């Protein structure tokens, strides 16, 4: 048989293996946790027709004469490079980070390893690999505190009991931040009604000062009804109302059970009394 025929056949066989690997990669393009493979080739042994010669005093060196005998498959490697993480729309799915990472799943006393992170909870709250019923294992924090999970102990089946509630705990600290609307126009005037006249007359007073002054005598006291429900009676002297009126903002928040709660924040610029 001609050596050229043998070399050609070896090339066809080796590239057929490469096509098989490529076809498998394409077939598993949507397989969860699948890692693509690649084929590397290597040169087969060469037949030496004549050896090499070292240079002499009257002639230079000569190279060997060799004929290659074809190609063979050197290896079929699995590419464990991390791919881009994509959302699945299911909050029980997990993704691996790191080429040597695997999930631990178990059935009875038999332990398995998988890169498939398409998990879900069954009717009893077991975290499982659907279709096989294998339990997903990991480290579990069994305390009621939101502490860091220790990874030093043995792994166990992950179970989240349906309908189970954590004991309530009073909130010790809450942090809240809010921005005032810079586009809100500044209050520049106030309206006061004089109920002693018929009909009552309204007086609008605008001022560029930091306060407004209402002066009354003992014979004609003035009663002020403020926005917080309190009343101030001025019989003599001066009472100051700050130009920066309080601003009450209502906002919603949720407790750990998802119940809607409401609270209010009061914004007020303190002004010195006169």
Residue closest to 155 by CA, chosen among 91, 104, 85: 104
Q: Cα–Cα distance between 190 and 212 in angstroms, integer?
A: 9
pLDDT score for 200:
47
Token pair of 252 as six digits: 């919603």
Three-state DSSP class for residue 264: strand
pTM of the model: 0.48
pLDDT score for 23:
97
Three-state DSSP class for residue 7: helix
pLDDT score for 274:
52
Q: Cα–Cα distance between 233 and 58 in angstroms, integer?
A: 129
Token pair of 49 as six digits: 């027709």
pLDDT score for 201:
46
Residue closest to 3 by CA, chosen among 51, 41, 47: 47
What pLDDT, in 10s, does the model give residues 242-252? 545 555 566 67
Residue closest to 174 by CA, chosen among 251, 81, 98: 251
pLDDT score for 171:
78
Q: Cα–Cα distance between 206 and 192 in angstroms, integer?
A: 11
Burial of residue 224, with CB atoms counted within 10 A of its CB: 0-12 exposed, 13-18 middle, 19 or more buried: middle
Residue closest to 76 by CA, chosen among 46, 32, 41: 41
Residue with tokens 């004469």: 65
* pLDDT under 50: residue ranges of the chain: 189, 200-210, 243
Three-state DSSP class for residue 21: helix
Give 222's Cβ-side CA count (13 Å radius). 16
Query: 111 vs 97, 107, 156, CA distance in Å?
Result: 21, 7, 11
pLDDT score for 185:
63
Main-chain dihedrals φ then ψ at residue 75, nearest 5 degrees: -165, 160
What pLDDT, in 10s, does the model give residues 41-73? 998 888 888 888 888 888 898 888 888 888 999
Q: Cα–Cα distance between 266 and 251 in angstroms, integer?
A: 11
Give 189's Cβ-side CA count (13 Å radius). 7
Cβ contact 265:249 at 8 Å? yes
Residue closest to 131 by CA, chosen among 144, 149, 114, 145: 114
């Amino acid at each position: 048989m001609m050596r050229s025929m043998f070399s050609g056949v070896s090339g066809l066989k080796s590239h057929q293996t490469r096509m098989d690997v490529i076809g498998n990669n394409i077939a598993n393009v949507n397989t969860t946790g699948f890692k693509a493979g690649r084929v590397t080739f290597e040169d087969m042994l060469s037949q030496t027709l004549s050896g090499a010669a070292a240079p002499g005093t009257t002639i230079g060196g000569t190279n060997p004469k060799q004929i290659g005998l074809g190609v063979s498959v050197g290896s079929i490697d699995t590419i464990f490079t991390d791919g881009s993480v994509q959302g699945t729309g299911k909050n029980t799915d997990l993704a691996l980070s790191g080429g040597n990472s695997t999930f631990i799943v178990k059935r009875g006393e038999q332990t398995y390893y998988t890169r498939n992170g398409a998990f879900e909870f069954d009717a009893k709250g077991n975290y499982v690999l659907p279709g096989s019923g294998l339990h997903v294992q990991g480290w579990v924090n069994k305390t009621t505190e939101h502490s860091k999970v220790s990874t030093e102990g043995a792994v166990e089946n992950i179970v989240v009991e349906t309908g189970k509630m954590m004991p309530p705990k009073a909130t010790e600290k809450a942090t809240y931040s809010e921005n005032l609307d810079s586009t809100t126009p500044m209050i520049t005037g106030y309206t006061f009604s004089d109920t002693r006249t018929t009909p009552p007359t309204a007086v609008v007073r605008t001022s560029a000062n930091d306060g407004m002054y209402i002066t009354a005598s003992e014979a004609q006291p003035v009663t002020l009804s403020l926005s917080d429900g309190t009343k101030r009676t001025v019989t003599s002297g001066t009472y100051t109302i700050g130009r920066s009126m309080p601003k009450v903002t209502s906002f919603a928040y949720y407790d750990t059970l998802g119940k809607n709660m409401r609270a209010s924040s009061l914004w007020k610029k303190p002004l010195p009394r006169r």
